[in-house]
């Protein structure tokens, strides 16, 4: 007599991009249009700027969504839209948060926002948009340039730096942005 064994469940180790099309087409309820896939990416990016983190496995899903979109008619516009729309919206949010502070506390607020931007937001943006790396400017370069242009240059930095000392993150920010400028000029 043979033994009766219950079959073990088969788990998919990790889906691949080719599975995404089957997943989306597997049922009408799960069919997502390119617009809704892009909307999920946009929502996640804005959430990151507003201080929210990514959920478990959300980074993987976002990467697969970007890869999916790169193969569609939207693919050639992802970098442009990231730079012109998402980055603008996110950095405007950061600027508004800094501008809520009065002149005495604005430098400290800029310092805190830079630390959050540099240690949390920037690496997350790079991870989300990893599939589009290798373009003319990297996601990192676009985000840093955006921070300089849409946050730093819109603040009265000269007035803010009149004191004898300022927080170390401000020095870090100025050095990183200067190095970026030098690298792009070369």
Domain residue extents for the chain: 17-185
* Cα 87 from Cα 149, distance rounded (Å): 11
pLDDT at 184: 87
Q: Are 118 and 177 in contact (CB under 8 A)?
A: no
* Cα 186 from Cα 171, distance rounded (Å): 23
How confident is the model over 43-101, as pLDDT tens digits? 999 999 999 989 989 999 999 999 989 888 777 888 889 999 999 999 999 999 999 99
Mean pLDDT score of the chain: 83
User: Cα 167 from chain centroid?
Assistant: 25
CATH architecture of 17-185: Up-down Bundle (1.20)
* pTM for the model: 0.79
How confident is the model over 145-172, as pLDDT tens digits? 999 999 999 999 888 888 768 899 999 9
Q: How confident is the model at residue 4 (pLDDT cuts 50, 70, 90)?
A: very low
């Amino acid at each position: 007599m043979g033994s009766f064994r219950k079959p073990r469940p088969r788990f998919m180790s990790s889906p691949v991009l080719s599975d995404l099309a089957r997943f989306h087409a597997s049922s009408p309820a799960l069919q997502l249009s390119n617009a809704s896939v892009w909307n999920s990416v946009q929502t996640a990016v804005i959430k990151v700027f507003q201080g929210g983190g990514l959920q478990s496995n959300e980074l993987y899903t976002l990467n697969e969504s970007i890869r999916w979109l790169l193969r569609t008619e939207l693919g050639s516009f992802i970098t442009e839209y990231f730079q012109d729309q998402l980055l603008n919206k996110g950095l405007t949010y950061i600027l508004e948060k800094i501008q809520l502070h009065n002149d005495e506390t604005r430098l400290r607020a800029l310092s805190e926002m830079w630390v959050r931007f540099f240690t949390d937001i920037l690496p997350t943006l790079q991870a989300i948009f990893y599939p589009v790396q290798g373009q003319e400017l990297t996601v990192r370069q676009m985000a840093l340039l955006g921070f300089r242009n849409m946050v730093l240059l819109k603040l009265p930095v000269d007035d803010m730096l009149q004191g004898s000392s300022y927080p170390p993150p401000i020095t870090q920010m100025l050095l990183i942005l200067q190095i970026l400028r030098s690298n792009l000029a070369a």
